[in-house]
Amino acid sequence: MSDELIDSATRWYVLLRSGQATAGDWQRYGQWRAADPRHDALCRQLESRLGMFQVPQAQGVSGKVLQQALEASSSRRHVLQVALAGAGVAVGAALLAKPLGVPLTELTADIRTGTGERRAVTLDDGSELLLNAQSAADIQFDPQRRLVRLREGELLAKVASDRIRPFLIQTDQTRLRAYGNRFLVRERAGLGQVVALNGAVEIDGQNGERLQLAAGHEVHYDRAGFGPVQASSSGATAWVDGFLQVRDRPLAEVIDALRPYHNGVLRLDPSVAGLRVSGLYRLDNPQQILDTLARTLPIHITRRTGLWVTVSAV
């Protein structure tokens, strides 16, 4: 998402929430929003998912102050972030601090979830998708096939029987064909995982590889291909009920699972990434999980305005 697009959208929202916007301003805003699908997509995101610039107004941050912040000679996004964070407004600032956390392609997805949000969706054929936080997918059903395109994130599919149309899931790196009715797929930042929960899953990799994954098994993959097939872990679907369940897993894997539930940037020092973790944690409180880990591991948690959190060695 470009800096120019973010700057334009925030300018409009500061003006329109300031109480100083005229009828002409609203008309010009409507024209700007309709001029480009990207403008409309970002505006809908700010309205429905983050409620951006509504909270600052309610907490006494005047539109005039925000407008002055935007007009400052230094980075507009940085100044506005500081202004919002200083008022205790973490949600609006989080978008400005981490624009890549909300890719533009995800804003236009058929179904999507925000930070810390899980969502169940029933499809036209009776199948059900459960999306983990920060996930996005498109649905493309026709008389020949049922296709779900996972743009980013993680989902659990419960597939309804259809003898005519196969059920497929396409990601950036793989295509899955379901032969059972429950399986899980995750793909973030080039790293993926498939878990066959009930029945086999056929996986085609981008390098021409094909893997038949039997029920009760899982496989990780990346751009280089598939890793070893293993028995699936008992905690693979714990997120569906709002839990993170790990047994002797690296800290890096735990932090990866927390990022979709954390507003802002969550950094991990590579020197502690390999520390082993076991436990059952509530995903909806990532800060509490980090504090718990700090009491049991030789790590230190550094927080800056709540938006930038670093996990490092003691």
Residue 153 in tokens: 């994130």
| Each residue's pLDDT expressed in tens, for the chain with a length of 314 residues | 455 776 677 677 667 766 677 888 888 888 888 888 888 777 776 655 444 434 333 334 444 544 554 444 444 444 444 433 443 333 333 344 333 344 445 567 899 999 999 999 999 999 999 999 999 999 999 999 999 999 999 999 999 999 899 999 999 999 999 998 999 999 998 899 999 999 999 999 988 899 999 999 999 999 889 999 999 988 899 999 999 999 999 999 999 999 999 988 899 999 999 999 999 999 999 999 999 999 999 999 999 866 789 999 99
- Rounded Cα distance, 272 and 203, in Å: 33
Q: Which tens digit of pLDDT belongs to each residue from 253-292?
A: 999 999 999 988 899 999 999 999 999 999 999 999 999 9
Say which residues have a Cβ less than 8 Å from residue 129's Cβ, sequence separation at least 6.
111, 120, 121, 123, 137, 148, 155, 156, 157, 158
CA-to-CA dists, residue 255 to 140, 195, 260, 275, angstroms: 33, 20, 10, 11
* Dist CA 15 CA 280 (whole Å): 45
Do residues 153 and 118 make contact, with C-beta atoms less than 8 angstroms apart?
Answer: no
* Contact between 311 and 272 (Cβ < 8 Å): yes
- What domains, with CATH codes, occur in the chain? 3-106 (no CATH), 112-231 (2.60.120.1440), 242-313 (3.55.50.30)
Say what percent of the chain tops pLDDT 90. Answer: 59
Neighbours of 1 (CB within 10 A): 18
Q: Which amino acid is residue 247, in one-letter code? A: R
Work out the end-to-end distance of the chain between its first and last CA atoms, rounded to an integer number of angstroms. Answer: 36
Residues with Cβ within 8 Å of 29's Cβ and at least 6 positions away in sequence, in order, are: 12, 15, 16, 21
Q: Can you tell me which residue has the tokens 């649905």?
A: 139
